[in-house]
Amino acid sequence: MISPSVFFSVIILNWNGRDLLEECLDSVLAQTLRDFETILVDNGSTDGSVEYLRARYGDRIRLFPLDRNFGYGGGNNRGMEAANGTWVVFLNNDTQVDPRWLEELSSAASRHPDTAVFSSKVLNYFRRDEIDNVGHLLYPDGINRGRGRLEKDRGQYDREEEVLFPSGCAAAYRKDLLDAIGGFDESFFAYGDDTELGLRARLYGARCLLVPRAVVHHKYSATTGAYSEFKVYQVERNRVWVMLKYFPLRWILVSPFYTIVRMSYHMTAALRGRGASGRFTEQVSAWRLFRTVFRAYRDALARLPPVLAERRRNRHLRKIPSGEFTEWLRRFRLTAKEVAWKD
C-alpha cells in the first residue's frame, strides 16, 4: 500500500537516545501545520528506544528499527527512501522545535519557490538567548562551523538571507533535489555529512536560505559528546574527504597552508585552555589529541583512490563554476581563530 503524500517528511535519527526522544517527538507532533509525517529511524539502539517508541507513540510515527548502527548518513538515507514528502527535513533527536517551525518553513517554501534548501534558526537549548547556528561557514581546508555560534541572539540574524548550507541538526531539502543529487555519503558515518551534502547541493545550483522564524533548540553534541576522541577523529578525517571531493584544484593545492595556520591556533588554544582543543586537552590529553588527528589524516589518505573516483563521478552534477566556489569562501569564510578558540 502506498502512503499518501505529505508536504514535509520529518526524519529523526536515533541511536541510544531514549532520554532525548520524548521532548523531541512531542514538540514535532505539536506542530501547528499538520501536513507532515514523522519518520523515526533507530540505528540499532540497545537502550530500549524501540520498545519505548512503540509503546508511547504507536502509529503516530513511522518507526524504522535498523539492526545495527549505519551512522548519520546511512540512517537518514534509509529514512529518506521511505519519505513521501515534497520536502525532507532532517532533525536531530537532541532538539526541541518551536510549534510553528514547520509552518514557517512551509511559508518560506511558498514565498521562495526556486529555493530548494532551507536552514532553521538553531538556538542553544540550555541558554535560549544564545545561537547554536544560523547556517554554516566554511574554512579553506574543508572544516566547517555553525554561523553565529555562541553569539547572543540580539536579532542580528532575523532576516531571511542566503547561507552556504544548513546544519544537519535541522536541514530541509526539497525531495526532487535529493532524488537528483543522491543522499548522504555513508562512508562519513558521523560529522561532515551535512557539509558534504550541502556543498553537493550548492554545486548542483541549489540555493540555501535561512528561515529565522523557524526556530529549533539544540542540545549540542548530546549524542556523541562535545570533546570526544570520536568527534575529533570524524571531523578531521571527513573534512579532508569534503575538500578532495568538491574543492577546486587550486584550493586543494593551498589547503595544507590553511591547515597549518588552523593547527597553530589549535595548539595555542590548547595551551591556554580555550576552545574545543583546550577542553579536550583538559578532559583527555594533548598527546591523545595529536594522536587522534594523525590517525584521522592517515585514514583519510588511505581512502584516497575511491574519494577521487567519487570526485570524477560527481562532475556531471556541477553546474557552478570554480569562481563561484571562491566567492562562497569569501562570503561564508570561517577564520582559523574562530575554529580554534570557540567551543
The amino acid occupying position 92 is N
Closest CA to 245 of 314, 333, 336: 314
Residue that wins the pLDDT comparison between 228 and 114: 114
What's the whole-number mean pLDDT along residues 169-182? 98
How far is the C-alpha of 343 from the C-alpha of 338, rounded, in Å? 9
C-alpha cell at 89: 527535513
pLDDT in tens, 37-68: 999 999 999 999 999 999 999 999 999 999 99
Task: List the Cα angle 166/168/169 in 5-degree steps.
Answer: 105
> Hunting for cell 551534502 — which residue is that?
197
Residue that wins the pLDDT comparison between 227 and 140: 140
Q: Which residues contact 317 (CB under 8 A, 6 or more apart)?
A: 180, 181, 200, 203, 204
Please provide residue 197's backbone torsions phi and psi, each rounded to the nearest 5 degrees: -70, -40
What's the whole-number mean pLDDT along residues 165-193? 97
pLDDT in tens, 277-300: 777 777 777 778 889 999 999 999
Please provide residue 73's backbone torsions phi and psi, each rounded to the nearest 5 degrees: -70, -45
Instruction: Report residue 263's pLDDT band, with 50, 70 and 90 as the boundaries.
Output: very high
**pLDDT above 70: residue 186:** yes
- Give the per-residue pLDDT at 295: 96
Closest CA to 217 of 124, 303, 143: 124
Q: Which residues contact 302 (CB under 8 A, 6 or more apart)?
A: none
Q: Using DSSP, how many helices (H) and how many strands (E) does the chain show?
A: 13, 12
Strand partners, 136: 146
How far is the C-alpha of 199 from the C-alpha of 203, rounded, in Å? 6
**pLDDT above 70: residue 223:** no
- Give the per-residue pLDDT at 1: 39
Instruction: Report residue 271's pLDDT band, with 50, 70 and 90 as the boundaries.
Output: confident
- Give the per-residue pLDDT at 342: 79
**pLDDT above 50: residue 221:** yes
Q: Which residues contact 86 (CB under 8 A, 6 or more apart)?
A: 5, 6, 7, 8, 174, 175
User: Is this structure's pTM higher than 0.85?
Assistant: yes
How far is the C-alpha of 72 from the C-alpha of 49, rounded, in Å? 17
- Give the per-residue pLDDT at 189: 95
- Give the per-residue pLDDT at 225: 52
Across the chain, the runs of DSSP E, i.e. the strands, are: 6-14, 36-42, 62-65, 85-92, 95-97, 117-124, 131-133, 136-138, 144-146, 161-163, 170-174, 208-218
What's the whole-number mean pLDDT along residues 60-88? 98
- Give the per-residue pLDDT at 336: 93
Contact 126, 23 (CB under 8 A): no
Structural domains of the chain, ranges and CATH numbers in brackets: 6-218 (3.90.550.10), 229-341 (no CATH)
Task: List the Cα angle 10/14/18 in 5-degree steps.
Answer: 115
**pLDDT above 90: residue 340:** no
**pLDDT above 50: residue 316:** yes
**pLDDT above 60: residue 327:** yes
C-alpha cell at 336: 582559523
**pLDDT above 70: residue 199:** yes
**pLDDT more than 90, % of the chain:** 86
**pLDDT above 50: residue 148:** yes
For residue 287, give the H/E element and its range: helix 286-302
- Give the per-residue pLDDT at 3: 56
